[in-house]
Amino acid sequence: MRRYLPLFFGYFTVMALSNAIVPVLPAYSPDASAHGLIYAGYFLGAFFVTLPAGILTDRYGRIPFVRLGLFVSLASGAFLTLISDPVLVIAGRFLEGTGAGLFVAAAMAMVNADPGHVRLSGWLMASQNAGLVTGLAIAGWLAAYLGTPPSGIALFTLMLVVPAVASLLVREPAGTPGTAGISGREILRITRHHRWLWYSTVVIIGLTGLVTALYPKLSGAGSGQLGIWIAMMGIATIIAVIASSRMAPEPVLAIRWGAILMAGGVVLLFFSPAGFLMIGAVAGIVIISQMAFLAGAAGNQGTVMGLYSSFAYLGMALLPAAGGLCADRLGFPAAFFIAVLAALSVAATIGRCACVTAGETYGILPARNNKQ
C-alpha cells in the first residue's frame, strides 16, 4: 500500500487541477456552449492519448508515463494560470487533458495489475474524487475571496510539483513490462465484444460531466457556492467507491440500476443541488463494478484500462459539449430531458453485455478456460 502513496497523491493533485476551473467558468464566457467546450476540451485531450498510452505502458512500463503525464499536467496548469481568452483556455484544457490521460492510463494499469486490485482501485478512485472535490471547493472559495478566477489553478499547479518530483524517485514494480503488446485486431475484438460496457461508460461517466458543466449557468450561483454544491457529487462518489470496492457487485445488475438511479438524479438536480449526491453515488458504484470486471483480463492491463479510460473520457468530452449546445438552443429543460433518456438507454441495453460476473474474463483477453 505504501508504495502506491505517491501515485495516489499524484492522482489527487491532477484531478484537483482539472476541476479548479469549473466554479469559475462564467468568468471566461457568459455562454453555456463555451462552458461546455472549455470543460470538454480537457477530456478530449485525454481521450486521444489514453489508449495509445495504455498500449505503450504494456510494452515499456508504467512509471515513464506516470512521470510524463505529471510534467505535462504541470506545464498546462502554468499556462492556464496566465491566460483568459476562451480559445486559448480551450487549448490549454486540451493540453491538460493529454497530461492527465498519460498519467491515468499508467496509474490505473499499475493498480489493476496488482493482486489486491479491488481494494486498491477503491483507494485510487477515492483519491481521484477527493481531488475533484478539493479542486472545486478550494478554487471556488479562493476565487470568491481573492477575486481572481485562476487562483485555484495556480495553487494546484504549485502542489503538482510535489508528485512530479517524487515520481522521479519511484521505480517500476518488480515483474512488470515488457510484454509483447497486443495486436490491433485484438483491440478491435475487445472493443466490439464489450461494446455495451463501453457504451455504459460513455453515458454514465459522461453525464457527470454534463451536469457539472451545465449547473453553473442553470443555477446562477456564485463560485463559492457552486464549488460546494458540485463537490457533493465527488464526496458521494468517494463513499460509494470505497463501499463498493469491498462488495464487488455484479456488473450488469449494478449498471442497470445505476442507470435508472442516474436518470432520477438528473431530474432531481434540475430542481435541487441535492441531485449531485445521487449522481455521485451512482457513478461510484458503476465505476467499481466496471473496473472489477476488467481486472479479470489476463495481462495487458495497460491496454484494457486504456480502452476503459478512453471511453470514459470520450463521454466526458462529448456529453458536456453537446449538453451546452442543447441548453443554448433548446433550453435547460430539453438538455436535462435528453440526459435522462441517455441514462435510461443504458438500462435498456446493458443486458446485452458479456460482463456477467465481476472479476471473471468473458472474451476480454485469452485467459483460463476462455476459448472464445
The pLDDT tens digits of the residues spanning 153-199 come to 999 999 999 999 988 887 766 555 455 556 677 778 777 877 888 89
Task: Report the alpha-carbon distance of residue 64 to residue 71 in Å, rounded.
Answer: 11
| Average pLDDT over all residues of the chain | 82
Q: Domains plus CATH for the chain?
A: 2-169+182-352 (1.20.1250.20)
Q: Which of 133, 134, 140 is nearest to 225 (CA)?
A: 140
User: Rounded to whole angstroms, how far apart are CA atoms 240 and 221?
Assistant: 27
pLDDT at residue 339 greater than cutoff 90: yes
Diameter of the chain measured on Cα atoms:
61
Question: DSSP character for 53?
Answer: H
As a whole number, mean pLDDT of residues 135-149 equals 85
DSSP 346-357: HHHHGGG-S--S
Q: What is the DSSP code (8-state) at residue 173?
A: P
Is residue 94 over pLDDT 50? yes
How high is the pLDDT of residue 113? 64
- pTM to 2 decimals? 0.73
DSSP state of 185: H
What is the C-alpha separation between 40 and 196, in angstroms, rounded? 23
For 220-268, the pLDDT digits (tens) are: 877 777 778 888 888 888 888 778 767 766 778 888 999 999 999 999 9
Burial class (CB in 10 A: 0-12, 13-18, 19+), 82: exposed
As given in the structure block, the three cell numbers for residue 341 are: 433518456
pLDDT in tens, 269-294: 999 999 999 999 999 888 888 777 77
Distance between CA atoms of residues 224 and 318, nearest Å? 27
CA distance 46 to 209: 14
Confidence of residue 296 (pLDDT cuts 50, 70, 90): low
Band (3; pLDDT cuts 50, 70, 90): low
Please state the length of the chain.
372
Residue with cell 470486471: 293
pLDDT of residue 91: 94
Residue 78 CB coordination number (10 Å)? 15
Question: Could you read off the pLDDT of 193-219 as tens digits, one per residue?
Answer: 778 888 999 999 999 989 988 888 888
Amino acid at 348: A
Query: Which CA distances in Å does 371 have to 359, 363, 364, 366?
Result: 17, 8, 11, 7
Residue 72 pLDDT:
96
Per-residue pLDDT band at 341 (split at 50, 70, 90): very high
Phi, psi values for residue 14, rounded to 5°: -60, -45
**Looking at the predicted structure, is the pLDDT value of residue 367 above 60?**
no
Distances in Å between the Cα of 45 and the Cα atoms of 39, 96, 179, 194, 287 are 11, 7, 27, 24, 21
Closest CA to 17 of 171, 146, 128: 128
Residue 65 grid cell? 508515463
State CA 96 to chain mean position distance: 13
| Interacting residues of 303 by C-beta distance below 8 A, sequence separation 6+ | 51, 54, 55, 58, 181, 182, 187, 190
